Amino acid sequence: MGTTQAAVVQYALEPLSVELREIPVPEIGEHDVLLQVGAVSVCGSDVHQFHATHSWAVNVPVVLGHEFCGTVAKAGRSVRGVKEGDRVVSETAAVICGTCMMCRTGRYNLCPTRKGFGYGVNGAMASYVATPARCLHAIPDSLPFEYACLCEPHAVAYQSMCVNSTIHPGDLVVVFGPGPIGLLCTRMAALAGANPLIVAGLPQDAPRLEAARALGATHTIDVSTGGLDDLVRSLDPLGADLVCEASGASRPLDAALKLVKPGGQVTKVGWSPDTIPIDINPLVGKNVTLQGSFSHNFPVWERVIHLLATGMAKPEIVVGLRSGLAGWRHAFDAMHEGDVIKSVLLPSM
Ligand SMILES: [Zn+2]
Ligand SMILES: [Zn+2]
């Protein structure tokens, strides 16, 4: 291993302030490992940071990438449980306080001081990344890196559909937004028994709606046709048991509150910088449960690794492009333009 490495770095907060730079291979502390990155998938949030359309604080300069896995190259002297050569996937809560109520009760994803890879601390779009050992989970040899890196977005989807929402077999579920997270929420809802399962998108989402069907959607619809409400009411006149809002915009919350059945649930997993006026009265009038879903924690990761390793999750449907680090721009643009659902960077390629 050399002392420097190429990395995809966001160096400023203005749009398009990302480039491939030569940076030092990170030092590790006694509780960390140095991970040789096997694969890192591009998240919508990486693309948002590239275009400066994100809604969270970014510590520049920072190496992008928080969806990653690899091989332990070096373990700090106090590390137990993993050793050099182990294949692992890493959670994203790179920094937590460890002492607050959230941390002490295992809900460290909600620690107020949480900082994630790729915006708070250096991420994994590089050959090596320093990772606290507490973030790591072993993965089976049968799970290739190019899919194991997708544990993170699957964990987001699992947390929103299978932890924060309640889905019973036969529930009518509607997912707004067939982006990567919406599609993985579709898969998790299908595994939880949602049926009918409707995925709603825009005219340019046609290929993504096809992917939604492959992931378990029973119906897909282009919302610009105006037929979503009729479709839902034709399946259940009272509306949807659960609406998952994964479009990444704020506005559709309005439509979600209209579509949901009395006593039903709305789960918001996408977010945006927009603040909008919205009619909140259906929340009260229909006794709706409205919940946000953020990130994930240890037990969710173990479940998701199982789903990926056993073929119950279907990452091959969402990965459309594989590239070395030098091809990062094309990988980002292909997602931004909607040519692929998900791009994966393989630093050894
Ligand atoms: Zn992500
Ligand atoms: Zn904490």
Question: Could you tell me the mean pLDDT of each successive run of 10 residues in the chain, 349 residues long?
Answer: 94 96 97 98 96 89 98 98 97 96 96 96 98 98 97 98 98 97 98 98 95 98 95 98 94 95 96 87 97 96 98 97 98 95 96
What is the predicted pLDDT for the residue at 304?
98
Ligand 1 geometric centre to CA of 59 (Å): 17
What is the predicted pLDDT for the residue at 125?
98
Helix (H, G, I), strand (E, B) or coil at 103: helix
Ligand nearest to the CA of 110: 2
Ligand nearest to the CA of 49: 1
Q: Report pTM.
A: 0.96
Residues paired with 37 in a beta bridge: 70
What is the predicted pLDDT for the residue at 248?
86
Ligand 2 geometric centre to CA of 6 (Å): 32
Positive or negative: CA dihedral 182, 183, 185, 190: positive
Neighbours of 169 (CB within 10 A): 8
What is the predicted pLDDT for the residue at 270?
86
Ligand nearest to the CA of 297: 2
What is the predicted pLDDT for the residue at 273?
80
Ligand 2 geometric centre to CA of 110 (Å): 7
Ligand 2 geometric centre to CA of 141 (Å): 33
Find the helix or strand (DSSP H, E) in which 40 lies: strand 32-41
> What is the number of residues in the chain?
349
Ligand 1 geometric centre to CA of 187 (Å): 16
